[in-house]
């Protein structure tokens, strides 16, 4: 099926096309710079020190992370500006760990309640750390309504924290044809909240938004974007129309282990690809070389794939490249990423493993 | 919300109730023994050496694993009888690794095609290893039809492998009210395939089936069962009616980090619980202490939970216990399992961390 994978791969494994990754990193860095947005990529997607360094080399102002554990990994690797974009509940060991992080880097932390802000303030008061207040711009997950931002800021200030602005995640843009509306919601919510902060005498310089589906549509009231998935893209982004196939940098290499009629079973299941499947997805991922095939079932170590009638059914032992639905989930299941460089100058295309990168922040959920 | 979790937990984390685990291990060991079935538990659920040893102490004949990597972990820990219940495609490094395993333990390997059997035979010929032929009993994943078993056995024998019998996974029992029919399918398919093997002059002594939903209904033509989930149970088993709440041994401890109306957000998302959700599931997991609550949305580090109108909404900072939909997926995301013993003799119930077990085979997908 796939002619251009290194022969020494042992499946299943996650493979990065280094040239595509580099192109994705450059495209988003340029786009952010051209439009005047600070870029603070979300490192939860790649969890990988090598990619973080490349993002910073290309002009990112710092990294976003989801957890204290992720922050610890990237701070230890020398990243000096980290934003924990999550309403951290800073008690016990977490309070101590936050305090230690503040000694290693310029630290910003999300808060979305007076109670949470007070705890973060107790942990970080007296340091140069800052907080950003999370706003619900329509995704209805965490975050306060834009009109409710001031009491959170006041609690943060009372606890000795510097309020630097607001952030949101327009996650409702992860639906077909919702990107533009979600980007509008994001811009409006952040502007409303920032104005309220400003009117109450707080700093509102940071207005941080962005996600991969909405990043191209980000409104001008926003100062910073935090996309994550753009480094690799995935089947969700392709099916949403926010990435095309040549921009898919990560696939799971998988072997056909069973075959019957037009159905094949490959050895990348939910423990390799993740089990994410949005209601609008066509299956549990896609095949890079055969976009009309459908992954109709998944279990832990099997993906069941139907091949269209007009396509050759891959033979037993063939290696296919599976594009996960949600690349963040797939990466978090792997211990390493196999970095491959393709050489189009050789006949039929050559491919070589040029590196193996540790998923250094894998499983750092707390 | 939960009064009886140790104070020194840092969320999110997976917590085992040691007494419930022990009761589950004993109940299935006794049930298998009483009914005359060999018990070969599937270790992909727990991936944990400490639990494997307890299963063997209680009479298991050996372990089932899904991958060579899992087999390597348990062989290194001293497990002497392992069955890789998967149609392994034994090329390259995998062939060498299989051969090395055969020096460490009594090894059995699944095959479901003449081509696959030949490769396993090349890797293991001349050792005491055996193969079992996988049968499709109605789940329509890997496995041959019962009538097609002989050509696979013949290829295995030609390649120098000892054929020991047949196995199947009645995965179509993972649907409401389908357990009895799936167990019937399993018994019939294994009997048909074993008869065909026997008539062709092959050994058909092993007829291995079983899964947690069907294990109580296993037919008498079967010699061995391979349930996995029974050690912990999960929300799927509860919603299928094959386990009740007091038999749930593993939960994710999670903190309420955001709260609005009757909705709470906790810090165990899909990177802790997994994203598995069967079409018939009520949500992305359940709350152990509040079974009428519903997990209505999940993202990587957030679960969005609606609390019924007549129940108190947990406060910010409260710790709740989330029962994953599919415990195998949740365990495979964690590096360790926190083992807790509850003391009902103390007022209000006490709880203490008595151990931390490594998820030693986590991520061993190949």
Residues of A within 8 A of B305 (CB-CB) are none
Please indicate, yes or no, whether residues A80 and A220 belong to a single structural domain of this protein: yes
CB contact under 8 A, A365 and B271: yes
* B-chain residue closest to A274, CA distance: B275
Residues of A within 8 A of B317 (CB-CB) are 89, 91, 115
- Report, as an integer, the average pLDDT of A273-296: 97
CB contact under 8 A, A329 and B300: yes
Please indicate, yes or no, whether residues A214 and A93 belong to a single structural domain of this protein: yes
Please indicate, yes or no, whether residues A222 and A259 belong to a single structural domain of this protein: no
Number of domains in chain A: 2
Q: Give a yes or no: residue B6 inside a domain.
A: no
Please indicate, yes or no, whether residues B171 and B39 belong to a single structural domain of this protein: yes
CB contact under 8 A, A8 and B171: no
Q: What's A247's DSSP letter?
A: G
Q: Closest partner residue to A87 among B66, B89, B258, by Cβ? A: B258
| Per-residue pLDDT tens over the stretch A17-66 | 999 999 999 999 999 999 999 999 999 999 999 999 999 999 999 999 99
Give the helix/strand (H/E) hosting A49. Answer: helix A49-57
Q: Give a yes or no: residue A330 inside a domain.
A: yes
| Per-residue pLDDT tens over the stretch B316-355 | 999 999 999 999 999 999 999 999 998 866 655 688 999 9
Average pLDDT, chain A: 95
The pLDDT of residue A1 is: 40
CB–CB of B329/A275 below 8 Å? Answer: yes
CB contact under 8 A, B317 and A89: yes
CB contact under 8 A, A366 and B10: yes
Cα–Cα distance between B121 and B131 in angstroms, integer?
9
* A-chain residue closest to B270, CA distance: A329
Q: Give a yes or no: residue B353 inside a domain.
A: yes
Residues of B within 8 A of A303 (CB-CB) are none
Give the helix/strand (H/E) hosting B130. Answer: strand B130-135
Domain, as residue range, for B346: 236-358
Range in A154-168, A246-260, A294-308, B343-357 the model is least confident about:
B343-357
Please indicate, yes or no, whether residues A38 and A89 belong to a single structural domain of this protein: yes
Q: Closest partner residue to B332 among A87, A89, A271, by Cβ? A: A271
Spatial CB neighbours of B123, under 8 Å, sequence gap ≥ 6: B90, B94, B95, B96, B98, B99
Residues of B within 8 A of A296 (CB-CB) are none
Q: Give a yes or no: residue B27 inside a domain.
A: yes
Q: Give a yes or no: residue B3 inside a domain.
A: no
Q: Give a yes or no: residue B364 inside a domain.
A: no
Alpha-carbon dihedral sign for residues A71, A72, A74, A76:
positive
Q: Give a yes or no: residue B307 inside a domain.
A: yes
Q: Closest partner residue to A115 among B92, B297, B316, by Cβ? A: B316
* End-of-domain residue from the set B231, B250, B274: B231
CB contact under 8 A, A335 and B363: yes
* B-chain residue closest to A305, CA distance: B141
pTM of the predicted protein model: 0.96
Please indicate, yes or no, whether residues A195 and A254 belong to a single structural domain of this protein: no
CB contact under 8 A, A13 and B363: no
Q: Give a yes or no: residue A13 inside a domain.
A: no
- Report, as an integer, the average pLDDT of B98-113: 97
Please indicate, yes or no, whether residues A59 and A120 belong to a single structural domain of this protein: yes
* End-of-domain residue from the set B208, B231, B254: B231
Cα–Cα distance between A109 and A305 in angstroms, integer?
43
Q: What tokens does B156 get?
A: 């295995």
Burial class (CB in 10 A: 0-12, 13-18, 19+), A61: middle
CB–CB of B1/B318 below 8 Å? Answer: yes
- Report, as an integer, the average pLDDT of A108-128: 96
Position B3 pLDDT exceeds 60: no
Please indicate, yes or no, whether residues B246 and B329 belong to a single structural domain of this protein: yes
What was the ipTM of the complex prediction? Answer: 0.96
* End-of-domain residue from the set A187, A210, A231: A231
* A-chain residue closest to B12, CA distance: A366
Cα–Cα distance between A323 and A249 in angstroms, integer?
9
CATH of the domain at B268: 2.40.37.20
The pLDDT confidence band at residue A345, using thresholds 50, 70 and 90, is: low
* A-chain residue closest to B96, CA distance: A10
Please indicate, yes or no, whether residues A187 and A49 belong to a single structural domain of this protein: yes
Please indicate, yes or no, whether residues B86 and B196 belong to a single structural domain of this protein: yes
Q: What's B144's DSSP letter?
A: B
Please indicate, yes or no, whether residues A164 and A225 belong to a single structural domain of this protein: yes
CATH of the domain at A86: 3.20.20.10
Please indicate, yes or no, whether residues B215 and B290 belong to a single structural domain of this protein: no
CB–CB of B203/B172 below 8 Å? Answer: no
Distance from CA of A34 to the nearest CA of B (A): 31
- Report, as an integer, the average pLDDT of B41-52: 98
């Amino acid at each position: 099926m796939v002619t251009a994978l290194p022969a020494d791969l042992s499946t299943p494994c996650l493979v990065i096309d280094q040239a595509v990754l580099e192109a994705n990193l450059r495209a988003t860095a340029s786009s952010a710079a051209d439009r005047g947005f600070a870029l603070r990529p979300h490192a939860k997607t790649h969890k990988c020190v090598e990619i973080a360094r490349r993002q910073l080399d290309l002009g990112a102002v710092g990294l976003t992370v989801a957890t204290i554990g992720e922050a610890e990994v990237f701070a230890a690797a020398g990243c000096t500006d980290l934003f924990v974009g999550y309403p951290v509940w800073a008690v016990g060991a977490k309070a101590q760990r936050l305090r230690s992080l503040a000694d290693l880097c310029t630290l910003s932390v999300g808060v979305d309640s007076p109670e949470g802000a007070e705890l973060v303030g107790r942990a970080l008061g007296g340091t140069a750390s800052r907080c950003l207040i999370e706003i619900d711009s329509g995704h209805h997950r965490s975050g306060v309504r834009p009109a409710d931002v001031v009491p959170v800021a006041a609690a943060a200030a009372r606890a000795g924290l510097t309020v630097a602005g607001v952030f949101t995640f327009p996650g409702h843009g992860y639906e077909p044809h919702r990107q533009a509306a979600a980007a509008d919601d994001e811009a409006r919510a952040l502007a409303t909240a920032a104005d309220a902060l400003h009117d109450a005498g707080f700093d509102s310089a940071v207005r941080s938004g962005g996600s991969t589906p909405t990043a191209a549509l980000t409104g001008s009231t926003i100062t910073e974007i935090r996309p994550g998935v753009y480094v690799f893209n995935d089947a969700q982004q392709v099916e949403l129309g926010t990435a095309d196939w040549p921009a898919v940098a990560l696939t799971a290499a998988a072997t056909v282990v069973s075959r019957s009629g037009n159905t094949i079973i490959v050895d990348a299941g939910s423990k390799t690809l993740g089990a994410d499947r949005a209601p609008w997805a066509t299956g549990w991922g896609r095949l890079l070389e055969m976009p009309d095939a459908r992954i109709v079932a998944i279990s832990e170590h099997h993906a069941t794939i139907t091949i269209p009638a007009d396509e050759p059914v891959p033979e037993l032992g063939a290696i296919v490249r599976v594009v996960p639905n949600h690349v963040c989930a797939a990466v978090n299941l792997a211990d390493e990423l196999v970095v491959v460089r393709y050489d189009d100058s050789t006949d039929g295309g050559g491919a070589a493993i040029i590196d193996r990168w540790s998923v250094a922040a894998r499983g750092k959920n707390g």
